[in-house]
Amino acid sequence: MAKEIPKILKGFRDYLPQQQLARKKVITKISEVFERFGFSPLDTPALEYYELLGGKYGEEGEQLMYKFEDQGGRKVALRYDLTVPLARVFATYPDLPKPFKRYQIANVWRADKPQKGRYRELIQCDVDIIGTDSIIADAEVIAAMAAAYKTLEVGTFLVKFNDRKLVDSVLTKLKVSKEDIVSFMRTVDKLDKIGERKVQETLLQQGFEKDILSKYSKLMDDSSKKYVEEMQNLLSGLGVEQMMFDKYLMRGLDYYTGVVFEFVLLEKPEFGSVGGGGRYDNLIEQTTGMATPAVGGSIGLDRLLAALEELDVISPQTAAEVIVFNLDKNLTPEYLNILTNLRNAGLDAEFYYEPAKLDKQFKYAEAKNTQVAVIMGSNEAKKRKVNLKNLKEKQQITVDLDDLITEVKSMLW
């Protein structure tokens, strides 16, 4: 009796070859851009002490974190983001050159409720600069991410930014207390989702003055001019094309202390934010006891890939460029020789292992999206000839075995 096929865990995904090839390409491009901006790669363990991660991500994080006891009785957890492990790394290696500019592209795990576009294992692409409070560092993080989106051809996109310090000083001027500032920010941050009227209502319910929003708006407009101009100049200077100051952008994470920003795709606004970040000058101290300014951002790869797919930017990927068909067991040495020559010429080439019927071999090649088939029976072999079939254009030519590489290459490019 057939066994039941074992299942993948809910909220997790397999990446089959075509998807994984596309994902690999995107990851490679992002890495290259981050390196172009002077960020170096870092890798950290999937597991950390729970003591490190616990209490850093609010109530939600506490619930969604995968945590357990390991064989040695240690309380451990799967990493929930790449920022807290970065803080640990920064504290562990005091000799790192400062400011420390690193990028990390790696999985994080969150036991989120599975729903469309939400997964329990997700790749984050993070850039961070630790050890400087320069506003140029803020602009560099944004610019590096913008350059990544540009390279990926996501269409026109916009970075919205705000500054928590500005928000803080404006609200303080309006005599809003420290605790109320936090609830004000949380409510206003929902403006995009729930609309202005609902925000007004919520603020009233929370005990704010009736006209707090318009007062905030006016005072922010007056207070932000110099900051906005400086940031826009820096961003333009670093190659960012479209940016917008958004006084209502707050971002959820409590730990931001300065700039906050978010990227949106103007052709796919329904995807919401495809990346964002901000300055977090207190987090490193909270984690490690070392007071250190820091700024960083993160590209959510999964949402971005979904958008790229809808934008038709991701073309079907080919695994093997060339397949050598198997027509005759006795020709195995000749086939292997062809195969090895193709590979030595830098081509991705595979062999059909059994001398099966030709249409079965064609079907296999088509399923794998292969571009060229090398077809040689004993007649051709005797004459040192070989047939090349372009599987996309369905054209076949016969060439001298000695010209094989040149001919295949001209078919591919």
Q: Contact with a second copy (CB under 8 A): which of 30, 142, 147, 243?
A: 147
Select the residue interacting with a second copy from 29, 62, 64, 215 (CB under 8 A).
64
Residue numbers 261-290 binding a second copy by CB under 8 A: 287-290
* Cα(407)–Cα(7) distance, integer angstroms: 45
Binding mask 229-258 for a second copy (x = CB under 8 A): ----xx--xxx-------------------
Query: Binding-site residue total for a second copy (CB under 8 A)?
Result: 103
Amino acid at 67: K
Residue 195, interface with a second copy (CB under 8 A)? no
CA atoms within 13 A on the CB side of 224: 25
300: number of CA atoms within 13 Å, CB side?
20
Instruction: Tell me if 251 is assigned to a ligand binding site.
Output: yes
Nearest residue to 17 via CA among 317, 363, 371, 361: 317
Cβ-contact 83, 296 below 8 angstroms: yes
255 is in an annotated binding site: yes
Check: CB of residue 124 under 8 Å from CB of residue 105: yes
Based on the shown chain and the rule CB under 8 A, indicate whether residue 97 belongs to the binding site for a second copy: yes
Tell me: does residue 207 bind a second copy (CB under 8 A): no
From the list 73, 92, 226, 393, which residue makes contact with a second copy (rule: CB under 8 A)? 92
Cα end-to-end distance, the chain, whole Å: 50
188 vs 369: CA distance, rounded Å? 50
Is 193 a binding residue for a second copy by CB under 8 A? The answer is no
Residue positions counted in the chain: 413
- Applying CB under 8 A, among 55, 58, 107, 244 the residue interacting with a second copy is 107
By CB under 8 A, what part of segment 23-42 binds a second copy?
23-24, 31, 35-42
Among 29, 61, 62, 111, binds a second copy (CB under 8 A): 111
Site residues for a second copy, window 360-389 (CB under 8 A)? Answer: 364, 367-368
Q: Which letter does DSSP use for residue 113 in this model? A: P
> What gap in Å lies between CA 129 and CA 83, rounded to an integer?
11
Q: Does 57 count as an annotated binding residue?
A: no
| Interacting positions 121-140 with a second copy (CB under 8 A) | 121, 129, 132, 134, 136-137, 140
28 is in an annotated binding site: no
